[in-house]
């Protein structure tokens, strides 16, 4: 047996002066002695490490969940690195991105388009209007607080959105000049909906406000009993809006409640009305289909994703498309609530998809924007939003 005597391996952090480790080896035993010069120094190191850990476990930057808007063969979408991009719908080729060499912190707002201008709000407190062809900034409006809400543009030339300073704004879509503002009691994260000259704007103060779109005057308000973060859907004289885990159907004229439905968890998915049915998801992954007039469930059992559904259920030809926190994009049969296909990504899919010409466009937190075949879920192309380059070339 080989015997090694007095073989000492010594690690001493001379520069730091913190710890001296003596590792003594011999044939009989390995003894590790850890001696600490000053325990207080070790404590300080532990505090340092803890501070780093604290920074890591809660201070994650906002990433946004901007949906995709497809207009005239161009896909406009905010991305997880705080930019808005314009991509060719068929090949994913980058047309422009804004800002070109920086970011606007985070983009939750799904861009709106009108008269060749792209509108969106950003977490950097600014509301932007860009030239849709070039991405050049036409104007910006400082809301003095982060903007989560997506804008809506009226035919009369006003653009509406909410901000975290508890206000709903109406700006001149051409110049950015403020026309009116309406103050709520809570941050306004939900996207407002414009219908019949009325702007329906929910807020985190638990209320849904119906405002005159021209003047901002309040017509009615409804207390939903909890935070409202979903865009109201308006159809056949009813306004559908979620408050915490309840979905309400309200009379569009008076705000009177027609019916309510209790989901299994909070509803952050914008309700979609199609063919007399309201579709929406819940944060426990369930997807519901309700009769729009009566509020009764249409499917035997709700569809169940493996994690939260924040995305809206986007309807196209009898199929509903949505993303989920389980990193998947789903397609479900709206008649039965059964799954058709699902596509796994490498990140959370909190953004709502956009659909055009049989292609589903959706962003994932894996920093890719996907174009999926609506029939099969096959990836047609994907773009790395950090570089603007194709990650999967167009097929």
- Angle among Cα 255, 270, 229 to the nearest 5 degrees reads 70
Query: Which of 58, 101, 115, 300 is in the footprint of other proteins by CB under 8 A?
Result: 58
Nearer to other proteins, 96 or 280 (CB): 280
Candidates 176, 225, 339, 347: give the one binding other proteins (CB under 8 A): 225
Q: Residue 257 Cβ, how far from other proteins at the closest point, in Å?
A: 17
User: Segment 239-298, which members bind other proteins (CB under 8 A)?
Assistant: 244-245, 265-266, 268, 283
CA atoms within 13 A on the CB side of 79: 28
**What is the enclosing helix (H) or strand (E) of 369?**
strand 368-373
Among the listed ranges 52-60, 96-104, 114-122, 312-320, the one in contact with other proteins (CB under 8 A) is 52-60
Residue whose token pair is 């426990």: 284
Member of 7, 26, 31, 55 binding other proteins (CB under 8 A): 55
| Least distance to other proteins, CB of residue 147, Å | 11
Burial track 359-372 (b if 16+ CB lie within 10 A, e otherwise): bbbbbbbbbbbbbb
| Cβ atoms 321, 374 nearer than 8 A | yes
Could you say which residues in the range 362-391 bind other proteins, by CB under 8 A?
none
Minimum CB distance to other proteins, residue 54 (Å): 5
Q: Decide: is 304 part of the binding site for other proteins (CB under 8 A).
A: no
Please, what is the minimum distance in Å from the beta carbon of residue 119 to other proteins? 20
DSSP assignment, residue 61? P
User: Cβ contacts of residue 382 below 8 Å, gap of 6+?
Assistant: 92, 368, 369, 370, 371, 390, 391, 392
Site for other proteins in 59-98 (CB under 8 A): 59-60, 62-63, 65
Cβ(228)–Cβ(241) below 8 Å: yes
Among 7, 47, 236, 256, binds other proteins (CB under 8 A): 47
State the Cα–Cα distance between residues 311 and 198, nearest whole angstrom: 25
187 neighbors 203 (Cβ within 8 angstroms): yes
Total residues at interface with other proteins (CB under 8 A):
54
As a whole number of angstroms, the distance between CA 40 and CA 267 comes to: 50
Q: Which of 33, 196, 300, 301 binds other proteins (CB under 8 A)?
A: 33
Q: Is the distance from CB of 334 to CB of 319 less than 8 angstroms?
A: yes
Among 54, 133, 217, 236, binds other proteins (CB under 8 A): 54
Q: Which of residues 117-176 bind other proteins (CB under 8 A)?
A: 148
Please list every residue from 330 through 349 that binds other proteins, using CB under 8 A.
Answer: none
- Residues in the site for other proteins, rule: CB under 8 A? 10, 12, 16-18, 20, 22, 33-44, 46-48, 50-51, 53-55, 57-60, 62-63, 65, 108, 148, 186-187, 189, 204, 206, 225-227, 229, 244-245, 265-266, 268, 283, 308, 310, 350
């Amino acid at each position: 047996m080989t015997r090694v005597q007095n073989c000492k391996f010594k690690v001493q952090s001379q520069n730091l002066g913190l710890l001296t480790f003596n590792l003594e080896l011999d044939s009989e035993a390995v003894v590790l002695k850890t001696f600490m010069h000053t325990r207080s120094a070790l404590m300080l190191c532990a505090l340092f490490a803890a501070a780093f850990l604290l920074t890591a476990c809660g201070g994650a930057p906002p990433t946004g969940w901007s949906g995709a808007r497809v207009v005239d063969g161009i896909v406009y979408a905010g991305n997880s690195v705080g930019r808005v991009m314009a991509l060719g719908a068929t090949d994913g080729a980058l047309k422009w991105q804004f800002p070109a060499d920086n970011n606007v912190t985070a983009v939750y707002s799904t861009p709106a388009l009108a008269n060749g201008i792209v509108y969106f709000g950003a977490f950097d407190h600014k509301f932007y209007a860009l030239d849709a062809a070039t991405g050049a900034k036409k104007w910006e409006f400082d809301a003095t607080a982060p903007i989560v809400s997506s804008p809506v543009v009226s035919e009369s030339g006003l653009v509406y959105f909410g901000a975290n300073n508890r206000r709903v704004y109406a700006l001149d879509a051409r110049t950015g000049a403020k026309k009116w503002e309406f103050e709520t009691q809570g941050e306004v994260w939900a996207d407002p909906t414009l219908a019949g000259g009325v702007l329906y704007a929910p807020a985190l103060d638990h209320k849904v406000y119906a405002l005159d779109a021209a003047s901002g005057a309040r017509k009615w308000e409804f207390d939903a009993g909890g935070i409202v973060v979903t865009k109201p859907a308006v159809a056949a004289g009813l306004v559908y809006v979620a408050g915490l885990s309840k979905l309400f159907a309200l009379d569009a004229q008076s705000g009177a409640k027609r019916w309510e439905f209790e989901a299994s968890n909070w509803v952050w998915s914008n309700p979609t009305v199609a063919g007399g049915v309201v579709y929406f998801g819940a944060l426990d992954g369930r997807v519901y289909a309700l009769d729009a007039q009566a509020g009764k469930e249409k499917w035997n059992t709700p569809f169940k994703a493996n994690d939260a559904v924040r995305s809206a259920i986007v309807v196209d030809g009898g199929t509903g498309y949505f993303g989920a926190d389980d990193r998947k994009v789903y397609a479900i049969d709206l008649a039965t609530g059964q799954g058709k296909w699902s596509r796994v990504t490498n990140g959370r899919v909190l953004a709502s998809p956009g659909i055009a010409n049989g292609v589903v466009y959706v962003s994932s937190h894996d920093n890719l924007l996907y174009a999926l075949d609506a029939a099969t879920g096959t990836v047609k192309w994907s773009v790395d939003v950090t570089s603007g380059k194709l990650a999967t070339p167009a097929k």
